[in-house]
Chain A
Amino acid sequence: MVKKNLSLIGLLMATVFIIAVPASAQKVQGVTDTEILIGQWGPQTGPAAPWGAVARGTDLLVKIINEEGGIHGRKFKYFLRDDSYQPAKTKAIAKEFVEQIGVFAVVGGVGVATGMTARDYLMENKIPWCGPVTGVYEWITPIQKYLFAIYPLYDDEAFNLTGYLDEKLGYKKIAMFYQNDDYGKQGVMGVERYLLKKKINLVAKVSAEVTDRDLSTHALKLKNSGAEAVIMWTMPTHAALILAETAKIGFKPQWATSSTLSDSALMMQITKGLWVGMINSFFGELPDSNHPLMVKYREWHKKLAPQERWGVFYYAGIIFSEPFFEGVRRAGKNLTPETWISAMETLKNWQGIGPPISYSKPNHPMDRQGGKHVFYGKVKPDGNIQRLTDWIQITK
């Protein structure tokens, strides 16, 4: 009987040992001596699909880095998943990344509502997440150890854009046209904050639902407000629709919009030229920039992804992942979430083709907000951009 019990205990210990050994041998999830696994979701289908180009842009940067030999002898394996801009799908994708694929980190990811379904899950599982492709407070409040935001904050972007219209261009009657969700509302927040500070009234605040395709009433409301300038915080489809509807009723204010609509080539095409004169903020170099990195990326783009259009939405995928790779570079051969985080915290005004990026140890929400700058440009009749300012710090 004792012999039988001893054999049973021995078997149990052996089982525990077998289970335990691989766990301690596999040091870091998603990292081997030769490979690092990373993932990103993005809308490849559905109404927000033009923004899905971001995730494909990151794929280009991954390919470039791999072609150049990887980082510290490791190449990257990139998993792109289509969430159709549907939060339920994003959550499932995040679970797939963590539980099935076992990624080291998540990079980018378009959408506020979509990203919010995954944020807490990723943080609980201590998965580094670099550069969600939206500029909202949700990424930095509460402060998350593993989450590094890059996109300049919409609130500050809208605040400063309103200031530009008011102080530089002298528009006092300003209206707002926005998408009725977190993205649009944070734009409204910045506009209202500025106008309140200056004791100016917002003459109209008109919202559209994501699925709306008839904006004739919206256009009438904007026209009736008597606005001289209208700031829009919407997706590309709504931007095209509202410009057409306002043009029909002869309403031609000065339009201004966020960096989310800074793909001028696309916007010129879908608005049939009505995009001319738009004042845009930008979070990255212009498509035809002579910046050495832009020249290099354009050359690789021709070689590795000639089927993709070289536009802002596409190379935004590079902008929002460059700091991640810089962190991997600085972390050295011993890559773990902790060493990567320490490396990211050494970035001070580091710049790729996007805004200057700085992080610190997380004592204040802004310590995890990397991008704090934008610049302004105006769309010329040929669709190119006339740069109006240099990089402006919008977040203090």
Chain B
Amino acid sequence: MFGQLIVSGLAVGACYALLAIAMVIIYKTSEVLNFAQGEMAMVSTFVAFTMLDAYHVPFPWAAALTFLFAIFLGIFFEIVFLRQAKDPTVIGLIIITLGFEMVLMGFAGWKWGPDQRSFPFPISNIETYNIGGLLISKINFWTILITLVLMFILFLFFRYTKLGIAMRATQQNQLAARVMGIRTKWILSFTWAISSIVGAVAGMLIAALGVLDPPMMMDPLLKGFASGVLGGMTSLPGTAVGGAMLGIIENLFGGYVSLAFKSVVAFIIIILMLCIRPSGLLARHYVKKV
């Protein structure tokens, strides 16, 4: 049972990590916690579902078009809502994301209705691989793999590309970045687009693992946030480690201590981390000079 709990924990942790990565990308650039991340992912997943179910678009095309939609959604939100905020403070911007979350939730309920649906995904969520006696479902295996690959690509992007460095510079000091010739507004839009794509990937995987319905991202988003806090909200590898750890801790707690309190573990971790090490396990503590 122990091994199986670890494997299942890693799989669910990969989903948390994906959402956390999506949040961290935005946080790294603008210090805004995007609470609409879950619903942006949910709406993108519904768009994919509509293409697959109603128009019978082949999955690769549906996924590609969904990513395009996700880019549009991210940029739209940044330009139409966040950029229009007058004298924006971080708190003010976070509140705007909460408002957008509710708008998207209402929109999804109106457009697609409240019924749960099964998301057509090319990888089975029942068939399994047997790795050394441990069963891992194909979709869980691919979720872990996709998360690792995405994380690696993003890590390289932030570390080695000009655009990635520009994004980090924008986060550290927007004014200085602008003086150095970085088009910070464009950078911010680009950040939201990337984050929205990562969220859409998470949304499709989570829907394939369970069911597709408007509130499907409520729990994963909170767990994603907890993963970010655990690993460090400014560290991509930290976020992935945080997600995996949270998934495993939750499963072990549920398996050996109490199932009833399993879902509370994430919130205890948030509180503990904020008290003991607010920067997270793998992020360096960031001090703003005055």
Contacts and interface: CB of A to CB of B under 8 A. Distances in A.
A212 B114 contact: no
Contacts of A348: none
Contact of A213 (B114, B137, B219, B255): B219
B114 A270 contact: no
A49 B218 CA distance: 14
A62 to B, nearest CB: 20
Given A244-B126, A249-B4, A236 B259 contact: no
Contacts of B5: 216-217, 220
A161 B206 CA distance: 33
A164 B60 CA distance: 47
Name the residue among A47, A52, A240, A269 with the largest chain B CB count within 10 angstroms.
A47
B117 A270 contact: yes
B219 A217 contact: no
Given A216-B8, A220-B1, A50 B210 contact: no
B117 A221 contact: no
Contacts of B4: 220, 249
B interface residue count range (under 10 / 10 to 19 / 20 to 34 / 35 or more): 35 or more
B115 interface: yes
Contacts, number: 116
Contacts of B247: 214
Contacts of B106: 45
23 contacts: A45-B214, A45-B215, A46-B214, A47-B213, A52-B114, A209-B260, A209-B263, A211-B263, A212-B262, A213-B206, A213-B220, A214-B219, A216-B251, A217-B8, A217-B259, A220-B1, A220-B4, A224-B1, A236-B116, A241-B211, A248-B140, A266-B116, A269-B118
B122 to A, nearest CB: 13
Interface string A47-58: 101101100000
Interface in B208-228: 209-211, 213-216, 218-220
B164 interface: no
A44 B109 contact: yes
Interface string A236-250: 110011001001111
B246 to A, nearest CB: 11
Interface string A251-294: 00000000000000010011110100000000000000000000
Contacts of A342: none
A266 B218 CA distance: 22
Nearest to A208: B259
B117 A269 contact: yes
Interface of A: 43-47, 49-50, 52-53, 180, 206-209, 211-214, 216-218, 220-221, 224, 236-237, 240-241, 244, 247-250, 266, 269-272, 274, 309
Given A249-B135, A271-B118, A217 B211 contact: no
Name the residue among A217, A250, A272 with the largest chain B CB count within 10 angstroms.
A217
Contact of B135 (A237, A248, A266, A309): A248
B19 to A, nearest CB: 12
B125 interface: yes
B8 A211 contact: no
A224 B2 CA distance: 12
Given A217-B259, A217-B262, A220-B1, A248 B125 contact: yes
B70 interface: no
Nearest to B258: A207
B12 interface: yes
B173 interface: no
B241 interface: no
Nearest to B108: A45
A371 to B, nearest CB: 25
A221 B255 contact: yes
B259 A207 contact: yes
Interface in B170-214: 206, 209-211, 213-214
Contacts of A212: 219, 262-263
B123 to A, nearest CB: 12
Nearest to B220: A213
B235 to A, nearest CB: 24
B115 A50 contact: yes
Given A217-B262, A220-B8, A248-B135, 4 more contacts: A49-B109, A50-B115, A206-B259, A269-B117
A379 to B, nearest CB: 16
B240 interface: no
* The 6 A-B residue pairs with the shortest CB-CB distance in the complex, in nearest-first order: A49-B114, A216-B8, A217-B254, A248-B137, A213-B219, A214-B12
B211 A237 contact: yes
A318 B87 CA distance: 54
A180 B12 CA distance: 22
B116 A43 contact: no
B161 interface: no
A84 to B, nearest CB: 9
B111 to A, nearest CB: 12
Contacts of B1: 220, 224
Interface in B238-290: 247, 250-251, 254-255, 259-260, 262-263
B118 A270 contact: yes
B116 A250 contact: no
A250 B128 CA distance: 9
Contacts of A180: 260
B105 A244 contact: no
Contacts of A266: 115-116
Nearest to A47: B215
Contacts of A221: 255, 259
A49 B115 contact: yes
Contacts of B262: 209, 212, 217
Nearest to A274: B126
